[in-house]
Amino acid sequence: MVHRLYNGERYIPLVALSVYNTGVGLAEASLDLLFDAFYTTKPEGMGLGLAISRRIIEAHGGQLWATPNVGPGATFHFTLPVPGAPPA
């Protein structure tokens, strides 16, 4: 889906993607820590995947965040600017 972000001067075209699951979900307390390096809820997890993913997306001018679902699971969202697209 393509969205537009207004940065105070013009609209910037963005691509947005959301991926959801129906797993155990996210605790409210973990939302602030979820993207910190070495934070994990898995017994054998390293806690690097989401931290690295966020750094890559932010390096390309995007954003990555997560929200708990109303039912089970969580939804992960990210946006990236569309390179070369004319401002809307």
Tens-digit pLDDT profile for residues 16-42: 999 999 988 888 878 888 989 998 878
22: domain range? 2-81
* Sheet with 63-68: strands ordered across: 2-6, 11-20, 74-81, 63-68
Domain assignment present for 10: yes
Query: Is 15 in contact with 79 (CB distance < 8 Å)?
Result: yes
Domain assignment present for 9: yes
Quote the tokens at residue 74: 């969580």
pTM of the predicted model as reported, rounded to 2 decimal places: 0.79
pLDDT at 40: 83
Mean predicted confidence (pLDDT) in 53-69 = 94
Domain assignment present for 58: yes
Domain assignment present for 68: yes
Distances (CA, A) of 46 to 29, 74, 87: 19, 20, 40
CATH number of the domain bearing residue 73: 3.30.565.10
pLDDT at 63 over 60: yes
What length does the chain have? 88
Tell me how many helices (H) and strands (E) the chain has. Answer: 2, 4
